[in-house]
Amino acid sequence: MIVIMKAQAQMRDISAVISRIEDAGYKVHLSEGDERTIVGVIGDGRPLDRDQLERMPGVERCVPVLKPFKLASRDFKPNDTTFPIGNHMVGNKEIVLMAGPCSVESRSQILETAHAVKEAGAHILRGGAFKPRSSPYAFQGLGEEGLKYLAEAREQTGLPIVTEVMEPAMVPLVCEYADILQIGARNIQNYALLHAVGESQHPVLLKRGMSSLMEEWLMSAEYILSHGNTRIMLCERGIRTFEKYTRNTFDINAIPVIKQLSHLPIIADPSHATGKWEYVAAAAKASVAAGADGLIIEVHPRPEEALSDGVQSLKPKRFAQLVVEMKAIAEAVNRKIS
């Protein structure tokens, strides 16, 4: 349930409502909007008398939230969630561009790519140091060495870093280096990891699982939110269908649907969504037109030599061209890529 306070409610009215709810054994999450405060009632407690709550000073009305996700829902927080990453506000009018290789492969590779994507207009550098690979025999990433190279790339370019964390025990280490923690598609229901990332209070890029319903994806976000971490970006990276010509099927529907259901920013990953570099630009441009708040795109200076996902990686020159095209589309839909 949520308790919607009147626009003119006083702090003491809000405090009284919070005490009443907590006394009944629930947890409270506050959503402080420009106009009014919404008090979210979370958890299992004794039945609350809705009429009584509605008679309290400053309360406008109580609304049951029937969706399984509460804190992630627009009912609880009508306004878009925005937060800064580096010099950028995520979730605002401006679309944020993350780019870089699938994996950090060497110091020179990540430094070269970082400078190239910055030059092309990226705002955030991506690169996996811990890689979730389908085969145990495939390149597993450079681990902490890779994180160090990413930090050096940030120092040289000023680009904040997004990189994947795969297990709860690694969260403190990855937080030391990363500006954004990526939770990969394979880990979206790793609840211990969601818990640890929620506690970390670090910004999160939460990929959709390859077979996740949008509701399950939002429930994963709910885990992170329930630990007080509100800086979450949801990332559509394609889902598994019967189609074989592409690696995944890009569910562009997720962009407007998530926008309607949730206040959290939505990012598109056209690289994993298509799996072939030839299709990345089309999916990327469609994402901008559909209202994505950002994109994460794999770029490699020599895709043919890449240790992972070379087939779907753009060369820096193509990425630069794509940025120019996306800028025009962004303007047409009243957004901006700076």
Neighbours of 44 (CB within 10 A): 7
DSSP β-ladder status, 2-5 and 161-164: unpaired
Q: Tokens in use for 95?
A: 């679309």
- Does residue 262 sit in helix, strand or coil? strand
Choose between 261 and 267: whose C-beta lies nearer to Mn ion.
267
Range 202-221, binding ligand PEP (CB under 6 A) = 207
Which of Mn ion, ligand PEP, none interacts with 77 (beta carbon under 5 to 8 A by kind)? none
Strand (E) or helix (H) holding 159: none
Which parts of this chain interact with Mn ion (CB under 5 A)? 102, 309
The item of ligand PEP, Mn ion, none sharing an interface with residue 198, based on CB under 5 to 8 Å by kind, is none
Q: In whole angstroms, what is the distance from residue 322 CA to residue 326 CA?
A: 6
DSSP string, 289-329: HHT-SEEEEEB-SSGGG-SS-GGGPBPHHHHHHHHHHHHHH
Stretch that binds ligand PEP, among 53-61, 65-73, 182-190, 219-227 (CB under 6 A): 182-190
Q: Please choose which of ligand PEP, Mn ion, none residue 222 contacts, taking the beta carbon within 5 to 8 angstroms, the exact cut-off set by kind.
A: none
Which positions ≥6 away from 305 have C-beta within 8 Å? none
- Min dist. Cβ of residue 274 to ligand PEP (A): 12
The residue among 2 and 162 lying less far from ligand PEP, judged by its C-beta, is 162
237 binds ligand PEP (CB under 6 A): yes
The one segment of 82-90, 181-189, 222-230, 256-264 that binds ligand PEP by CB under 6 A:
181-189
What is the Cα–Cα distance from 66 to 53, expressed in whole angstroms? 19
Residue with smaller CB distance to ligand PEP, 226 or 308: 308
Residues 86-105 that bind ligand PEP (CB under 6 A): 102
Alpha carbon distance 256, 178 (integer Å):
29
Q: Choose, by CB under 6 A, the member of 58, 91, 128, 141 that binds ligand PEP.
A: 128
Q: Does 174 bind ligand PEP (CB under 6 A)?
A: no
| Site for ligand PEP, rule CB under 6 A | 102, 128, 132, 184-186, 207, 237, 272
